[in-house]
Amino acid sequence: MFIHVSVLVGGCADMCQYLNTKDTFPPQTCSAIMDVKVVLVIVCLCILAITSSEAGIPKCCLHTKKKIRPRTLMNVQRWEMQKSSGECEIKALVLYLKGYEKPICAHPSELRRLKRMKIKRS
């Protein structure tokens, strides 16, 4: 990404130098082209930084399911408790399941059922 950016800006500078030697465009035109390209590069880098950083946006459960099916509880690989203090507003049991990309947000009371299911399975 950064190589392409430097080539873009460098190429534009070379083009402006060439054009100025030919007296085709006034220097203000080349300066305006450079300004637009620099702004475009900065905007693209900002968008890339915002979309690629997961640390900037916390992943919080906004609502919870009160009842989780036993079959779903059997497929839990790991879990964590979301606290209501800090960046998240509600307390929730976050369940990570086999074969699912997104976790399930359960009511914290489901932790007792989950532990009982895991003990019975062992």
Chunked into runs of 10 residues, the chain (122 residues) has average pLDDT values of: 45 54 60 78 80 64 91 90 87 92 93 83 64
Domains of the chain: which residue ranges? 1-52, 70-120
- Note the pLDDT of residue 119: 73
Letter for the amino acid at 118?
K
CATH code of the region 70-120: 2.40.50.40
Q: What is the pTM of this model?
A: 0.53
* Rounded distance between C-alpha atoms, residue 85 and residue 58, angstroms: 13
Task: Name 76's bridge partners.
Answer: 97
Distance between CA atoms of residues 96 and 90, nearest Å: 18
Q: Please tell me the predicted confidence (pLDDT) of residue 1.
A: 44
